[in-house]
C-alpha cells in the first residue's frame, strides 16, 4: 500500500475534524442537559420553599390554638399533658425486666 504524505495528512485532518465535531456535539448536549437540570432544581427548590412556608404557618396556627386552649382550660390542659406524658413514657420507656 503506497500512501503519500499528502494522503496521510488529509486523512489525519479528516479524522481530527470528525473528533472535533464529536466533541462539539457532546459539549452542546452536556450544556443543554446541565441547563435542564439547573432549571428543574430551581423549580424543586421553589416548591420546597413554598411547602416549608405552609408547614410553618400551620405549625404556628396549632401552637396559637394550643396556647389559647391551655389559657382557657388550664386544669384540662395539665391533665391531658400528664396523660400524654404517661402514654409516651410507657411507649418509649425502658423495656428491661428485673430478673
Residue 50 in any domain: the answer is yes
Residue 97 in any domain: the answer is no
pTM of the complete model: 0.49
Rounded distance between C-alpha atoms, residue 73 and residue 84, angstroms = 16
Alpha helices by DSSP H, listed for the chain, are 5-72, 74-92
Residue 99 in any domain: the answer is no
Residue 74 in any domain: the answer is yes
Q: Is the pLDDT of residue 99 over 80?
A: no
% residues pLDDT > 90 (the chain): 55
Rounded distance between C-alpha atoms, residue 90 and residue 54, angstroms = 33
Residue 77 in any domain: the answer is yes
Q: Is the pLDDT of residue 5 over 90?
A: no
Residue 66 in any domain: the answer is yes
| Residues 77/70, Cβ–Cβ less than 8 Å | yes
| Residues 96/88, Cβ–Cβ less than 8 Å | no
Residue 29 in any domain: the answer is yes
* 75: containing domain: 5-92
What does residue 95 show for φ and ψ, rounded to 5 degrees? -105, 10
Amino acid at each position: 500500500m503506497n500512501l503519500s504524505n499528502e494522503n496521510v495528512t488529509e486523512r489525519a485532518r479528516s479524522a481530527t475534524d470528525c473528533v472535533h465535531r464529536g466533541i462539539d456535539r457532546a459539549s452542546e448536549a452536556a450544556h443543554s442537559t446541565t441547563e435542564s437540570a439547573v432549571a428543574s432544581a430551581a423549580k424543586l427548590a421553589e416548591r420546597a420553599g413554598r411547602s416549608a412556608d405552609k408547614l410553618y404557618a400551620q405549625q404556628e396556627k396549632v401552637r396559637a390554638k394550643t396556647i389559647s386552649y391551655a389559657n382557657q382550660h388550664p386544669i384540662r390542659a395539665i391533665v391531658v399533658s400528664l396523660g400524654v406524658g404517661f402514654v409516651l413514657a410507657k411507649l418509649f420507656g425502658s423495656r428491661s425486666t428485673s430478673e
